[in-house]
Chains A and B, each alone.
Chain A
């Protein structure tokens, strides 16, 4: 087993992450207002989201279902009873003066997630990261201090986001490097998207991360004093900010200083962290159970129903692709990066009946095209049926692989029938024996020295002759037929 990455040889880095995820619901956590992005400010609101006097929250059960789904997908223990509490603080984008969250009795606890992170020698390394808890809470609104955005001077508040259902997912301090932290976030994001819990679009603020980081001497039993990095809203920032903070803490410790508990802000321009707020005057949030809400009770049967409705999880799917489709672990992992991709592959494999061949096309041609376009498989015109058909045309010798490969891009752009496409473009493989025989004769006549080599027992020249013949037929010659004809003529 290879060693985990150690960003600082002299210190052990300890990282725990708190992730906030917008759940994919039609309406808000406690109000009937729609969840909408890009709406005019304060247009996706209900009196409840504005904290009007006399309004009362009513829990969105769909959010509970998605929360349970996330908890089950991360192997958490789902509690049959959890409590919504008020977290009290004043801020203009917090309309009620408190956030409804869960505190003493959260939705779920004690889960884990397995991640693949790079090791010191570059090989992948599996780490099981513990999840402390998952709880449900409402998002706050947004304060806008930029006059250009707000349209006028002063501070403005947009409450469209206020009340959007969030899951807070808290990891154990099990991560040991920024790379592991990034791998954990990627894995978690993919899993939540896989399970349809969230779109987890980071640009829309649907997946946000805070990191707790501390350093300690190797072998030390006690954790070092930690700092909290707030609002790391891209994978790149997470790694950069953690490296910057690790460097800052290490420098402090090296100089005989000590780390002070604080909330840090990462400045991507200076590539450095700075203290935003010291924890000594820590906020006293005066949590208490929200008297407007009853305890959240989830029956065992409800949990079972969510479990049954849960899509096959990536690990299980990957194992099945390995065992049933005879794919390598590496290939299976690539094909299970997202549920859409795995679904696509599996559907095409079933149509085609040749999973291994389909996997090769996916990994070699389809993924490259997606990467080029920076899009997901389900955002293209390509269907599993079309891919299977194209592969069948190749396998049947009706089109050569060389002619077929560029067609993947066409199918991704326009959802046309592969057979029609091949015909329209005149790409049918040439199997006309007369034509191929004539071409073979020409090639043999043009390269007497190669022919002599082959006849002398050196078969290496055969591929050269085939290449020449393919060139003359613009790649459309059926390779099998060509090989047969050449072999016969050279033997004769």
Chain B
């Protein structure tokens, strides 16, 4: 499936101010033909001088433009990206790359603050807002030499499971553009799945990385709460939000996580535990590991095809030497309700700052009260308003004890469930989502149905434990994800198991046909 023509390579080389002879063009064409190269492959090419970062970045930008119909990106930053790529090439030429990600094009979700660039959270209310400071994760990515090419689409303020609730319009699933990529980090998942960038970053509050990873057939990881700094991550629900990576492989995820993890004095909830060498831990060996299968997650509610793929994946792990064991998470049935009480309560407070006074959109009005009401009513979309109302209600006098306090108590019970389960197993395997990617518009009229998309993912956020989704096959031609949940701070085991699984399977090497791109 060659998609790159020599003429395109020549155009890109010109953009990158590189002069290539005919032989080079031919070679590059062949090399760039691998649209779905991983970051590891790109790094090998960079190291071998087979390709320049400037070329990789130019290619990513061109593909993002070509895939505009996907709605994966909301903002590209070509100038900054080109400069960064040239600098990465200079470093590499000097034999002094900053990290294993130096010169690799990446994308970030539109709620990660980058100094001097827009940050809108796909909301009308942040129209025109340019961040005046640098977020920690962006600072770390830049320090690692990764080249940010653009900002990805999302559900407004990360509230949603489909990337439909965006002021820029819905993002589409590269496997089937009539379907959603999942959400809220759907743009990042789609950008990786469509081969635009090898690594993208999203945020996961209740499944917003894992569910779109599952729907788009890529690996997506939510680290332990506190593993990655939230400084510069625009808050949805502060006690649940975590930034994490998307990639084709668990191995790339390990690289990406290593670049952004670690203690940050600017985030009081960031953990001070040292970050292990995730890549080194990826031995391919899973023998002796005990995989817990929560009874409650394999019961009912999920698409039988999805459950079948997950069972097959677990069987593959058994063949690799892992053992399985049934475990119980007795409070799992309360997770969605608990999640929506806590997340909305925090969101109602976190989103109070969008008041039209200091930045973003302001509606004209005759009085202060009217200005607040109009700014917020016009600036927020329906789903955000729904959650602000729900959260305000949950915290209001007379309801706090019945809702918020009670939810916090259940949260403790859920955390204990996991502690108990991890006494009997090393990691837990479940479906990531109850079904494959759904059609655009299918669930927007029924919020409750939409909320249930996160039924298997929210518990990890409530318990603060790490989780990832790895492609484990297809149902009706659409990707299915296997969710692995681990002990707090034990991302290494999850990444090791997912990597071992990918060494034994080739699901991640299947890619969408992208015929919609040509059709456009």
A: which residues have CB within 8 A of B?
47, 50-59, 86, 88, 90, 92, 95-98, 155, 157, 284, 286-288, 291-294
Contact = CB atoms under 8 A, between A and B. Distances in A.
B456 interface: no
A53 B352 contact: no
Contact of B352 (A52, A96, A292): A96
B126 interface: yes
Contacts of B290: none
A149 B400 CA distance: 42
B368 A92 contact: yes
B268 A50 contact: no
Given A52-B359, A53-B113, A96 B353 contact: yes
B280 interface: no
Nearest to B270: A56
B345 interface: yes
B397 A292 contact: no
Contacts of A155: 368
Contacts of B132: 47, 52
Contacts of B351: 97
Interface stretch (B37-45, B49-57, B225-233, B320-328): B225-233
Contacts of B131: 52-54
B352 A90 contact: yes
30 contacts: A47-B132, A50-B358, A52-B131, A52-B133, A52-B359, A53-B111, A53-B113, A53-B126, A53-B129, A53-B131, A53-B234, A53-B353, A53-B354, A54-B230, A54-B232, A54-B233, A58-B265, A59-B268, A88-B348, A90-B372, A95-B353, A97-B355, A155-B368, A284-B396, A288-B345, A288-B404, A291-B238, A291-B239, A291-B269, A292-B238
Interface residues of B, number: 45
Contacts of B150: none
B349 interface: yes
Contacts of A287: 395
Interface string B327-369: 0000000000000000001101101111101110000000010
By DSSP majority rule, is chain B's interface helix, strand, loop, or mixed? Answer: loop
Interface string B127-152: 00101110100000000000000000
Given A47-B132, A54-B135, A97 B353 contact: yes
Contacts of B113: 53-54
A55 B234 CA distance: 8
Main secondary structure of the interface of A (DSSP, over half): loop
Contact of A54 (B231, B268, B372, B395): B231
A311 B458 CA distance: 52
Nearest to B395: A286
Interface of B: 111-113, 119, 121, 126, 129, 131-133, 135, 230-235, 237-239, 265-269, 345-346, 348-349, 351-355, 357-359, 368, 372, 392, 395-397, 400, 404
The 8 A-B pairs of least Cβ separation, nearest first, read: A97-B352, A291-B239, A286-B395, A291-B238, A53-B234, A51-B353, A54-B113, A54-B234
B266 to A, nearest CB: 6
B268 A58 contact: yes
Given A58-B268, A288-B404, 7 more contacts: A52-B132, A53-B129, A53-B131, A54-B112, A54-B234, A56-B231, A92-B368
A292 to B, nearest CB: 5
Given A53-B234, A55-B231, A92-B368, A292 B353 contact: no
B355 A292 contact: no
A118 to B, nearest CB: 42
A288 B231 contact: no
A292 B231 CA distance: 10
Contacts of A54: 111-113, 119, 131, 135, 230-235
A294 B395 contact: no
A57 B268 contact: yes
A56 B368 contact: no
Nearest to A155: B368
Contact of A286 (B235, B237, B359, B396): B396
Given A98-B352, A291-B239, A291-B346, A56 B268 contact: yes
B121 A53 contact: yes
A286 B390 CA distance: 13
Contacts of A55: 133, 231-232
B133 A294 contact: no
A86 B268 CA distance: 16
B349 A288 contact: yes
Among A52, A96, A155, A157, the most chain B Cβ lie within 10 Å of the Cβ of A52
Given A90-B352, A293-B268, A53 B119 contact: yes
A292 B346 CA distance: 10
Given A50-B358, A97-B352, A286 B392 contact: yes
- Which residue among B111, B132, B372, B395 has the maximum number of chain A CB atoms within 10 Å of its CB? B395
Nearest to B241: A291
Contacts of B267: 56, 58
A157 B357 CA distance: 9
Nearest to A286: B395
A288 B352 contact: no
A54 B114 CA distance: 10
B266 A56 contact: yes
Nearest to A96: B353
Contacts of A98: 349, 352
A400 B375 CA distance: 78
Contact of A97 (B239, B268, B349): B349
A294 B268 contact: yes
